[in-house]
Amino acid sequence: MSKTNFEFLDALGQIAREKGISVDTLLDALANALVAAYKRRPGAAEEAVVTIDPESGEIRVYGQELDENGEVVREWDDTPADFGRIAAQTAKQVILQRIREAERDLKYEEYAGREGDIVTGIVQQTDNRYTLLDLGKVEALLPQAEQVPFERYEHGARLKAYIVEVRKTTKGPQIVVSRSHPGLVKRLFELEVPEISAGVVEIKAMAREPGHRTKVAVWSNDPNVDPVGACVGARGSRVRMIINELRGERIDVVPFSTDPATFIQAALQPARVREVRLDEEQGVATVVVGDYQLSLAIGKEGQNVRLANRLTGWRIDIKSESQVAAEEAGEGEDWAEGEWVQTESGDMVWQPADGSAALSAAEWDAAASSVSDEAESAVPADAPERDSSEAPAEVPGQAAGSEGGSA
């Protein structure tokens, strides 16, 4: 083996060890590149093969003649006199290309199959279409569709995001992340609540309106562990960390129950429910609340009942005690019969059964007040007036009335 060939093989071996590429892979790639370089020379054979001796590093080019079946009928040594110089130039290009490909493959393998994980990145670039996050070795793409409405990402800010897709491209892995996916909230709970990561507490259901509010139903596999208290933490410390990461998004943690009526009652917190009537065939739950709790149960623009619908899987129809009493007495107005439906804009409106114009929550509340005097006997004499005590718990994220939650 000549000194040049020895240095060539030694360099290949060192590159292979540093970059995690086998020597055989490099030699095969180099041989294919040398065939292409040979065919560009004047007078080159139409078919040729290049061999590289892995022991000596000697490079030979053999021209070939093939028959109609593609079988080699004649072969001769057609190694050009100056092929060593061409081989050196080609080897450099091939090795650099293979190194880039290997590095791209390693980066892809690092993130392949990690859909559903949470990553922390630094905001590098943002525009109307997407935001780029620097994850260290690679960049992640946060498209507009996966962003939280009205959330702004400042350059250099640290941000947690949820991996929704890992694509393999010619330029390396493209990692698509989300800030609006419900999985982000779940992963944040797993990071902040040891009982969840240990499997003692489970998240059974979740409903989210990104940037506004999320309802989380939790269950404990240990009767000695309060699931709501574990998720909220002492003085709300755990859930507050999640709220801060979500930039103020409100979180209601409620206890999960296998009993639909109990679960629906918990899902409508912070409102207090008087009665739940289930129609299992239709999948409809009629919920009766005090007159003073109606607006709280429906929520701003119907948000509370809308999230409760999605959390429980039941279509929830909320009625006040006055309305129920009027219906039972046959004294209700035409609008008293109907159901709460969700509009295209996401608002909850009362659709009267007679097909007349739908009523917003405020209009329905006003109409209900007009018959409340006639059904006064249906309202407990000691029913408290609506005041700040009916507002959500003082600690953000803990629904009022949650069992076991820490204040």
Contact residues for 150 (Cβ-Cβ < 8 A; gap 6+): 211
The pair of structure tokens assigned to 109 is 């393998």
pLDDT at 336: 59
E strand or H helix that includes residue 348: strand 348-352
Domains and CATH numbers, the chain: 3-111 (3.30.1480.10), 118-180 (2.40.50.140), 182-258+402-407 (3.30.300.20), 271-391 (3.30.300.20)
* CB hemisphere CA count around 37 (13 angstroms): 22
Q: Identify the segments of the chain with pLDDT beneath 50.
A: 1-2, 332, 374-407
User: 150-186 burial, b for 16+ CB within 10 Å, e for fewer?
Assistant: ebebeeeeebbbbbbebeeeeebbbbbbbbbbbbbbb
**Amino acid 43: pLDDT:** 82
Task: Provide the strand spans (E) within 170-281.
Answer: 172-178, 201-209, 213-220, 250-255, 273-279
CA distance 1 to 52: 13
CB of 116 within 8 A of CB of 163? yes
Q: Which two tokens stand for residue 260?
A: 């639909």
Q: Give the pLDDT confidence score for residue 387 in this predicted structure.
A: 42
pLDDT tens digit string along 29-64?
Answer: 888 888 888 888 888 888 889 888 888 778 888 988
CA separation for the pair 318, 307 (Å, rounded): 13
Structure token digits, residue 133: 């996050």
The dihedral sign for the CA sequence 221, 224, 228, 231: negative
Q: For residue 158, report the phi and psi dihedrals to the nearest 5 degrees.
A: -85, 140
What pLDDT does residue 31 have? 84
Do the beta carbons of residue 205 and residue 312 sit within 8 Å?
yes
